[in-house]
Chains A and B, each alone.
Chain A
Amino acid sequence: MQNTPLRSSLPIAVLLTLVPLTSALAHTGAGVASGLQSGFLHPITGFDHLVAMVAVGLWGAQLRNPAIWILPITFPLVMAMGGLLGVSGVPLPLSEPVVALSGIALGLLIALHVRLPLVVAMLVVGIFAVFHGYAHGRELPDAADPTAYAVGFVVATGLLHLCGIVIGLLITWPIGARAVRACGAAIGCVGAYFLLASLGVIQ
């Protein structure tokens, strides 16, 4: 009588012993796909990077032609220079607070609808791009595939600029222009949060 449940549970026990208890490593973290994925996710999962990238596109759209395309072209090129600093291991002090500061500054520029001369706008965006590139570049040598990682984060950065530009096109309508300025204010608030966090004021 006792054997019946034992017999029926035996196949299940055998099956369970065949199931490995270790995690399945379907993706080993090596190769082009992994490098591309980690690079692509780096600016997107870092909210301080994300809002600053969107802000560049928003501000460009607010400043209209030619800033709408010059700023998003300037950013990745200067960001690459910052990436070089990160790759070479050159210490860049206060990189995290400046990344957060970029959100505050760009957010304020959008919220207050500040129309700077194109060269000055390029300079502002360029300075912040160095720090963003530095943060990405620090992780480049450790990436599974450095080129794929670079492609991933440059494409993600460009797409975030594009998001900002598309949102910025709302300025065609008066209510849209207000919405864009409100977005700027929200970006500034996010930047302020990250600045305080990077300085250890809030946890």
Chain B
Amino acid sequence: MKVLHRLAAAAVLLLAPSAAEAHLVNTRLGDFYGGALHPLTAFEEVLPWLALAALAAFQGAARARWLVVVFPLSLFAGCALSQLLPSPSFIPAIAVALIAITGLSVAAAVRLPLPVLLGLAAVMGFVHGLQNGQAMTATTDQLLFILGVTAIGYGVMTIATGAAIAFLRGVGSWRPIVLRASGSWVAAVGIMVMGLQFLTPVMN
């Protein structure tokens, strides 16, 4: 009987009428989702992330594992410091150059020393963190936004790296070729966008 009362009380508490927050953007968690979605809205960030994951896969699982730690932490650091540091004017140029560099590295399937791979991940994470952090306004819950950016960086990098490693482990000599071809696509995009950034002012 006592158990029945407790269950009834729990049911009443669970069924207590409150507004259904189907859209969490209206709640305090909205800034978390804002941060999580922000990097996904631009090819300038998604492309090099995927290329970096493919590059890490070419280095083997043992080395690629470090990326899952270093990249999100760098994103976090960049995003957090964006509120303290002025954004240098050359940051967009570095971001675009990173697309070309990672794409070319994947196309060539280069074997990088671990510090170089992690250095590339750290620079990319930091630069993208700085850029994403610039999107925060005075009303943004900075901690939630930064955590959102970091979480999506961690999620994308983990899934993409894992998928690329699993893909390379499959049967067929065409598998690395597919990754290398996709790397050449990323590099081509990076080279052209870099040209657009550096050469268009000359036109005007």
Contacts and interface: CB of A to CB of B under 8 A. Distances in A.
Interface in A142-200: 146-148, 150-151, 154-155, 158
B190 to A, nearest CB: 8
Interface residues of B, number: 26
A79 B44 contact: no
Interface in B125-181: 174, 177, 180-181
B41 A32 contact: yes
Contacts of A148: 43
Interface stretch (A2-10, A48-56, A80-88, A92-100): A80-88
A125 to B, nearest CB: 13
Given A84-B191, A84-B199, A137-B192, A73 B184 contact: yes
Contacts of A133: 192
Contact of B192 (A32, A73, A80): A80
Contact of A147 (B43, B182, B200): B43
A141 interface: yes
A150 B196 CA distance: 11
Contacts, number: 83
B185 interface: yes
Contacts of A147: 42-44, 189, 193
Given A32-B41, A88-B202, A151-B47, A141 B196 contact: yes
A155 B180 CA distance: 14
Interface in A50-90: 69, 72-73, 76-77, 79-81, 83-84, 87-89
A200 to B, nearest CB: 28
A52 to B, nearest CB: 16
B187 interface: yes
* Centre residue among A77, A80, A89, A137 by max chain B CB count within 10 A: A80
B199 A88 contact: yes
A162 to B, nearest CB: 9
B107 interface: yes
A127 B44 CA distance: 28
A87 B185 contact: no
Contact of A87 (B181, B182, B192): B192
B181 A69 contact: yes
A141 B200 CA distance: 8
A139 to B, nearest CB: 11
B195 interface: yes
Contacts of A88: 195, 199-200, 202-203
A152 to B, nearest CB: 10
B69 interface: no
Given A87-B195, A87-B199, A80 B187 contact: yes
Interface of B: 41-44, 47, 104, 107, 174, 177, 180-182, 184-185, 187-189, 191-193, 195-196, 199-200, 202-203
Closest 4 CB pairs of A and B: A80-B191, A84-B195, A88-B199, A80-B188
Interface of A: 32, 69, 72-73, 76-77, 79-81, 83-84, 87-89, 133, 137, 140-141, 146-148, 150-151, 154-155, 158
Given A80-B187, A88-B203, 7 more contacts: A83-B191, A88-B195, A88-B202, A137-B195, A150-B188, A154-B188, A155-B185
